[in-house]
Chains A and B, each alone.
Chain A
């Protein structure tokens, strides 16, 4: 393996590579940096206003805020995907939360806390339902969570047809206020990512979840309760969807049944997780990579706005970039193996 021609003094690039490897930084951050640099160049030459976005703190903050809604739920999606499962019901859970919050709070500040608790309880029930159907009834996760999502959609559409109620303005500080220069919502996103990282990398539960996703039979033979482990991942995923729903409604002031599906939280959280380096087959990945995947999406949206790209073309470019990024991984892992 050792190359005969090893260069005597490592170049700056080599040292940077070693630094990145030693800290286990997911390769998606490389893609993030490339897209960031490309955005600056594009903005420089094709920007529709005079100011460069990197010098505009409002736009920079906006990139982060855009990432909050998708980022929180993508952390949950990362958990289930590490367990070799998937959750298509998150978009509907976001809708249920947004509508439920504005309906239950009905503009009253003193109803905020118990409403939040009720919605989290609903999230736990949805997660238990998903997990139980997958592990006990052995229904394919794709179908199980799609089914649960459609049931939620039906319940929601039967009860509400439009924006229902509103959240009190005190609750909107979640989306609009800041501590110093940092928006509260961004702090919440980083809090969720940190908690996710800690659970995956520091706790027994995290180690067991990787085992279930990597080799379910091997995990079972090692005495793990694989069903419980995967169900708990689904519970956490649904709870992150509830948090995303709360953030969305605090921005919109009122929830409608379509806010979750229009936000594409299901497919985009899966795409961000995969771009972040979590394997669709499970057992591998992490939340920091997912965060980079989410930032890539927000950065692209911001850049497309800056250079005034047509909305449909925007979607085409997004699709192409997802394919390129994932193709890059397959290519890379093949190169590493052989």
Chain B
């Protein structure tokens, strides 16, 4: 079962970028590139050697592996519906948050290592937004833990979630926040624009400017895995509303992210950079609100 879980997660990771591209193309009235074009692109990158700038150190070379490794291990903690994840232990939701943070820190250090002013700017932006999005993620995960009384993803989504209208709302809310976190963490509009060629406006992309070949492929794949893991989490929270089955959660995660990102990127402009702070803080505030609501609900149950 754990194997199926991992397989589904990886499949979701491979499908989400394709669905985003397809949605965007359709909304623009275009046919769009092949669904698996991003896989061909990465295959091409994987066949290429990396070229390193003379100003970089061993740190710069190690980071893509660390980044991909952290994302993969983090993803292995996430259950798909009621399936058991490969790795599971008490408190793994904190491990999840900080594995993502580890990857981010590694990439920031690598960007600083190049000594480029562009990448320095990107690193400073990524550090700021990463710092702001962390409380949002932890508070939302904390809410899930609070509702179920477990601190491991596998236990939280084991199908014993409390039922009732109030929890319905809390779970819906949690899904919403998690989807917004997916937008932020995977660097999509309105926070970042993965398609732009303008270095001065980039956040995530600018930190990878000095990477090419295999290293760039690793970073791209890590990005897919990271957004798939977070999407799956959002899909699990949504699926918990009407029965936690893997065959609901897995397609839901792909559709939820693929379509929502595609629609937002087609119809909306990205934020002014200074407004990103507000945008992310709003997510964090919502998460705090959610946490207190859940806490109050919890108290009420105890009194009864």
Partners in one complex: no
By a beta-carbon cutoff of 8 Å, the part of chain B in contact with chain A is none
By a beta-carbon cutoff of 8 Å, the part of chain A in contact with chain B is none
